[in-house]
Chain A
């Protein structure tokens, strides 16, 4: 399907590749960016549609490397289609779905299933991440090579860390040999067993089973040592606290090929948001203290943390309306990712261009996508956003099939006016 050419004028362009943040416009044709204009431009020649952005932000569409859906296996939670619709309305043009589905994405046939469903839905780009181990069992390596051939973007064991260091070493070495990126959640499974919160004075008073931050530091240090041993590239999944950030900084300073993501939730909330056992704020990893959140924001601003993910994890009311320790972990986030990120800009913590890079170019480069930049010839995956528009999040009015938003009731700024995928308008406010 070929899209009509569209000219965008009078925009605030933010391009993470060239570090340009200023007035401009662009022209799309045949699903690609055909022409770029820098400087004030308020009209364009040509026979296509012209969109006056009226000063709104125009940047590459967001690339979200960590999205859970319920398809296949738990479609009432979220289908690929409902997730894609949520993504489009949130300005997210590429999502990478996690392998912890039923069946698990540990087989090229399931990779192929996801890609074919995505083609039929024809909204945003949907890519699968493959499982590192068969059935995510943490014991036997999955068919990483065949899944890569079928089209998976990287491999991960989702929320379940690989406790066995020997297996982790072999997976890193094997995947590296095939050029496949490994993504791993750093958590010492002995320390996190049964935990529902971060160990602290606060969780102690609530009487919740809790894990120390050291659980994350220990596993990250192990993974860093294994990267050193194997030379493999590693994507650290959802780093969340000050101590592991120090480990990450040391590893990066030594030039090890390590990248890290942070979830928007850990950049936006701290452990006190659990409040009176609010299960929508029960996450994996659990929310940390405020000093950890501040360290995370600083790490994002400095580039120590490369990528921000939504960690979209739908859970229906029946899985959340339980006592805290028994409730499902996770929160949806596709529709709130951009406005929540913009909060960090509005509060003056992180420059806008740096924020945009963390959800566009940085993830694109990590997994080898051509999107995520504004240059002639790259895919016309774009988002137009009024970054100042105030809104109060009402979970019930979100598109996701599950309404477990940690941002419910929060006041944010930023309204997505239009989302384009391959030059097609997939969302228009």
Chain B
């Protein structure tokens, strides 16, 4: 906890109207707005630790979670965030098989939009899906993950976890390790962390690196040892199982040997290093349980807690903008 974390009482005064009607990308925000959002989220962390966790900033509002991809933590995090702020929340998880044949993403969203929700939270497997919907509906759209493009609320909760652990983000050395190529978490984190002045490295096998990644304002490393040397934060990414059987890397055991995080590799990082993971973890593939479960090192549980608070802050600020619009 930082000393100047605001209490639950003054969250009302800290909400500010969002710069845009939708929240699609971390690049929708500038560093000052990110700072204000994180301050507000700090207040919600305090609120969430009280017995009574309710606020009424979203009273009367309707929130629809539209998740085309399976999700446990992001969906429940947005659901709790909405409910704690007093909104009515419904969850829709249209699986490909149960979508009425022929109904497109846009049709589904337009149909839901006709029920007059205030905020639509969408996760979809295609990059740009949230942006597409934001052009077709009248409510606010929050991007909860679009393909391999962005997952902005994840990046904000990661940054909040770092700021609370280190008291700052500026100047931190953050190593993002693993399957960067397919990771929306990595893209959002790179954009947000570089914006806030962190020194970002991406570490992983060359077959899992995006093209021209060195032009993202990051250092690219293919060797885990040099990649995490001196790092303050090691952020491990999830490796999808179907990408391990010879297509991108030869095998799980080779991957774990070369890029999995264990005590030995972690010893090269800075003193006081903290380990993060967006979850769900593949233990023994990208991360050793010994590291993942060490409360001195792991921020994984903090990330989940910060997730609810950050999403409350996002919802509160989007709603503040809605309040200003007739």
**What is the interface of chain A, defined by CB distance below 8 A to chain B?**
199-201, 203-210, 212, 276-277, 318, 321-326
Given A322-B105, A322-B106, A323-B105, do A206 and B211 touch, yes or no (CB 8 Å)?
A: no
Contact present for B147 and A325 (CB under 8 Å): yes
Contact present for B211 and A200 (CB under 8 Å): yes
Per-residue CB contact flags for chain B residues 65-109 toward chain A (1 = under 8 Å, else 0) read: 000000000000000000000000000000000000000111000
Residues on A with C-beta less than 8 A from B132 are: 277, 321-324
Residues on B with C-beta less than 8 A from A203 are: 211
Bound form: Cα–Cα A106–B184 in Å: 44
B181 CB to nearest chain A CB (Å): 8
Bound form: Cα–Cα A390–B230 in Å: 60
Given A200-B211, A200-B212, do A206 and B104 touch, yes or no (CB 8 Å)?
A: no
Contact present for A206 and B215 (CB under 8 Å): no
> Closest A-chain residue to B106, C-beta based?
A321
Residues on B with C-beta less than 8 A from A277 are: 127-128, 131-132
A195 CB to nearest chain B CB (Å): 12
Residues on A with C-beta less than 8 A from B216 are: 201, 204-205
Contact present for B211 and A204 (CB under 8 Å): yes
> Closest A-chain residue to B214, C-beta based?
A201
Contact present for B104 and A321 (CB under 8 Å): yes
Bound form: Cα–Cα A210–B136 in Å: 26
Bound form: Cα–Cα A207–B151 in Å: 11
Q: A204-B211, A206-B149 are in contact. List 10 more A-B contacts (CB 8 A).
A: A200-B211, A200-B212, A204-B210, A204-B212, A204-B216, A206-B127, A206-B128, A208-B148, A277-B127, A322-B105
Could you write out 13 A-B pairs with CB less than 8 Å apart?
Answer: A200-B211, A204-B210, A204-B213, A204-B216, A208-B127, A208-B148, A276-B128, A277-B131, A318-B104, A322-B106, A323-B147, A324-B127, A324-B128
Contact present for A207 and B148 (CB under 8 Å): yes
Query: Is B274 engaged at the interface, CB distance under 8 Å to the other chain?
Result: no
Residues on B with C-beta less than 8 A from A204 are: 210-213, 216
Bound form: Cα–Cα A277–B213 in Å: 20
By DSSP majority rule, is chain B's interface helix, strand, loop, or mixed? mixed
A-B contact count (CB 8 A): 68
Contact present for A323 and B213 (CB under 8 Å): no
Contact present for B211 and A325 (CB under 8 Å): no
Bound form: Cα–Cα A206–B136 in Å: 20
**What is the interface of chain B, defined by CB distance below 8 A to chain A?**
104-106, 124, 126-129, 131-132, 136, 146-150, 184, 187, 210-213, 215-216
Bound form: Cα–Cα A204–B148 in Å: 9
Contact of B187 among A199, A207, A321 (CB under 8 A): A207
Contact present for A199 and B124 (CB under 8 Å): no
Contact present for B104 and A207 (CB under 8 Å): no
Contact present for A323 and B212 (CB under 8 Å): no
Residues on B with C-beta less than 8 A from A322 are: 104-106, 126, 132
Bound form: Cα–Cα A212–B216 in Å: 18
> Closest A-chain residue to B133, C-beta based?
A323
Contact present for A323 and B128 (CB under 8 Å): yes
A381 CB to nearest chain B CB (Å): 42
Contact present for B211 and A199 (CB under 8 Å): yes
Residues on B with C-beta less than 8 A from A200 are: 211-212
Residues on A with C-beta less than 8 A from B149 are: 206-208
Q: Which one of B128, B129, B210, B215 has the highest number of Cβ atoms from chain A below 10 Å of its Cβ? A: B128
Residues on A with C-beta less than 8 A from B124 are: 323
Contact present for B211 and A323 (CB under 8 Å): no
> Closest B-chain residue to A326, C-beta based?
B126
Contact present for A201 and B147 (CB under 8 Å): no
Bound form: Cα–Cα A207–B150 in Å: 8
Contact of A325 among B126, B136, B212 (CB under 8 A): B126
> Closest B-chain residue to A324, C-beta based?
B128
Contact present for B187 and A323 (CB under 8 Å): no
Bound form: Cα–Cα A201–B214 in Å: 9
Residues on A with C-beta less than 8 A from B136 are: 321
Bound form: Cα–Cα A205–B210 in Å: 8
B41 CB to nearest chain A CB (Å): 26
Residues on A with C-beta less than 8 A from B131 are: 276-277
Contact present for B127 and A210 (CB under 8 Å): no
Given A207-B148, A277-B131, A277-B132, do A324 and B211 touch, yes or no (CB 8 Å)?
A: no
Contact present for B211 and A201 (CB under 8 Å): yes
> Closest A-chain residue to B215, C-beta based?
A201
Contact of B126 among A318, A321, A323 (CB under 8 A): A323
> Closest A-chain residue to B180, C-beta based?
A204
Bound form: Cα–Cα A326–B149 in Å: 15
Residues on B with C-beta less than 8 A from A276 are: 128, 131
Residues on A with C-beta less than 8 A from B212 are: 200-201, 204
Q: Which one of A203, A206, A210, A212 has the highest number of Cβ atoms from chain B below 10 Å of its Cβ? A: A206
Bound form: Cα–Cα A167–B149 in Å: 39
Bound form: Cα–Cα A254–B288 in Å: 59
Q: Which one of B105, B124, B127, B131 has the highest number of Cβ atoms from chain A below 10 Å of its Cβ? A: B127
B131 CB to nearest chain A CB (Å): 6
Bound form: Cα–Cα A241–B206 in Å: 25
